[in-house]
Amino acid sequence: MKIRHVVATAVAAAVATPAVLLAATPAVAEPKPVPVVQAERKPSIAELEKAVAEAKKAYEAAVAAESAARKAADEARSDTAPLAVAAAAARKEAEAAATAKDTADKALADAKAALAALDVNATPEQKTAAEQAVADAEKDVTTTTDAKAAADTKLREADKAVADAKDAADRKLNEATRTKNEALAALQAAEQALADAKEGDTGGGDIFIEEPRLTSEIVDLPSGIIAGTSVEFTLRLTNGTEKTMDDVRGTLRLSATDKSSRNDLHTLLKLQYSTPKHPKWGDTETDVAIGGLGPVKPGGHADIKFRLTVDAKAPAADGVASVTGDFQNNDGSFGGNGRYKDFTFGITPASGKPDTSGTSGTSGTEPQGSKSPQPVNATLAATGSSSVMPQIALAGGFAMVLGAGAVYVARRRGSGA
């Protein structure tokens, strides 16, 4: 696909974007709205080369940040970590306190038995000594009981500190990995734009056409999902125009957050997809664009099937599936509906009942789609988890498909995605 003015302009605009990634790593930069790009001029080769160089720096920085985060996560899980050492010492103290209490309990029992065993001929001195032994043993029991309770509390706090440190390190690693994948996507898109520009721009259609009549709907997604189970649903793209769209692409973004702490739980969601051209289930990321669905006639639709599996360890959570669609025609024109639609669902722990608090479904586990959800009031490029990928993907019309950090280009002269 020869680069269009809009692609080149968007890639040139990405020169500033890697700097955001560099400044934000290892955390993910807060996404900012990016308007639909309408090209006014063709960027120079030098500008595109600068975009590639900046994207490469961002990617290298993201790789280094991920490596550092991985090392920190490994250290947090090590037995030699300071918190782990403190927890081990607390465990020994708790064990010693438990042993001391057991010894005191036995001493008290023996003292009481000795007092009870005194016969009627025992002297007053013997009786007094036995009673004093019981009193001393009772005092020791009280002391060791308090000491054991304190040691147990200290151990619980130490174990919690270790667990919290591990969780924090894992979250930073996940954020760093996501940033790296986004930086890789931006770099590959910039490199492709530069390569296309060097071939020469002979294509037509410089402006992204916002076409709200290309609708995106989710069918059969339950409003409640139990952790440890899988559900299947469909992303349906319908051509409501009076002209055939030569090829369409659907984009899906899945996310879930813990109800109490609002932690990102996307790593507990596994997604697979299937299309008529590729009916076998294939693994993909929770943020994916799938094209090559072929022509769609007026009033017709194209479907992408998805299988969502929620990890059995998932807590109660709120999930959102955001979808949109775009198209590309053989004459070089391209566009899309320019907006995401949100479909919400609830996640219930494996031992519970489905959470049907999702706002887009009906009730129980009835499929979504019977009610029209509210569209996101933002451009296609302005939504999602990153300010990098939507800018490049949208501006390219049909530029790339993301999966496990990989990008592939659907060339106009090709036969699929």
- Residue 37 CB neighbour total at 10 angstroms: 24
pLDDT of residue 371: 37
pTM for this entry: 0.42
Q: 265 falls in which pLDDT band (50, 70, 90)?
A: confident
Confidence of residue 343 (pLDDT cuts 50, 70, 90): very high
34: alpha, beta or left? (left if phi > 0; alpha if psi -120 to 50): beta
Give the rounded percent of residues in the chain with a pLDDT score beyond 90.
59
With beta carbons less than 8 A apart as the criterion, state whether 221 and 367 touch. Answer: yes
Residue 76 predicted with pLDDT over 50? yes
Name which residue leads in pLDDT, 277 or 26. Answer: 277
Residue/partner pairs of 167-171 with CB below 8 Å, 24 or more apart: 168/76, 169/69, 169/72, 169/73, 169/75, 169/76, 169/77, 170/73, 171/263, 171/264
Per-residue pLDDT at 398: 43
User: pLDDT averaged over the chain?
Assistant: 78
At 120, the amino acid letter reads V
405: tokens are 């950090």
The band of 141, judged by pLDDT with boundaries at 50, 70 and 90, is very high
- pLDDT tier, 392 (very low <50, low <70, confident <90, very high otherwise): very low
- Choose the weakest-confidence range: 90-104, 113-127, 377-391: 377-391
Instruction: Give the percent of the chain with pLDDT over 70.
Output: 72
Mean pLDDT, range 146-154, rounded to an integer: 95
- Tell which residue, 182, 203, 148, has the closest CA to residue 5: 203
Lowest mean pLDDT among 6-15, 59-68, 136-145, 152-161: 6-15
Is the per-residue pLDDT at 342 higher than 50?
A: yes
The tens digit of pLDDT for each residue in 220-245 reads 999 999 999 999 999 999 999 999 99
CA–CA dist 231, 347 (Å, integer): 12
- DSSP for 338-377 reads ---EEEEEEEE-TTS------SSS-STTPBTTSSPPPBPS
- pLDDT top residue among 262 and 192: 192
Q: Kindly report, residue by residue over 314-338, the tens digit of the pLDDT.
A: 999 999 999 999 999 988 788 998 8
Give me the half-sphere count of Cα atoms (radius 13 Å) on the Cβ side of residue 349: 7
Q: What is the pLDDT of residue 166?
A: 93
Assess whether pLDDT exceeds 70 at residue 365: no
Q: Residue 8 above 50 pLDDT?
A: no
What are the angstrom distances between the C-alpha of 318 and each of 183, 186, 223, 259? 28, 29, 10, 6
Handedness of CA 3, 8, 10, 16 (dihedral sign): positive
CB-based contacts of 147, cutoff 8 Å, min separation 6:
97, 100, 101
pLDDT score recorded for residue 138: 95
Tell me the CA distances in angstroms from 205 to 22, 133, 305, 334, 335, one per residue in order. 34, 99, 31, 7, 10
pLDDT for res 388: 34
C-alpha 136/C-alpha 104 separation (Å) is: 10
Whether the per-residue pLDDT at 395 is higher than 80: the answer is no
Token pair for 323:
């979808």
CB contact set of 358 (below 8 Å; sequence gap of 6+) = 223, 224, 318, 319, 343, 344, 345, 346, 368
140-147 long-range contacts (CB < 8 A, ≥24 apart) are: 140/104, 140/107, 140/108, 141/101, 141/104, 141/105, 141/108, 143/104, 144/97, 144/100, 144/101, 144/103, 144/104, 145/101, 145/104, 147/97, 147/100, 147/101
42/397: higher pLDDT: 42
pLDDT in the model for residue 312: 94
Map tokens 């049907």 to a residue.
Answer: 356
- pLDDT band for position 373 (cuts 50, 70, 90): very low
Name the pLDDT band for 259 (thresholds 50, 70, 90).
confident
Q: What is the pLDDT of residue 202?
A: 43
Q: How confident is the model at residue 7 (pLDDT cuts 50, 70, 90)?
A: very low
For 169-219, write each residue's pLDDT tens digit: 999 999 999 999 999 999 999 999 899 888 765 444 456 788 999 999 999
Average pLDDT over every residue of 61-87 = 94
User: Best-predicted range by mean pLDDT among 7-11, 46-50, 176-180?
Assistant: 176-180
- State residue 355's pLDDT score: 55
pLDDT tens per residue across span 295-307 = 999 999 999 999 9
Across the range 94-103, mean pLDDT stands at 96
Cβ contact 216:323 at 8 Å: yes
Tokens of 157: 């706090």
What single-letter DSSP state applies at residue 266? G
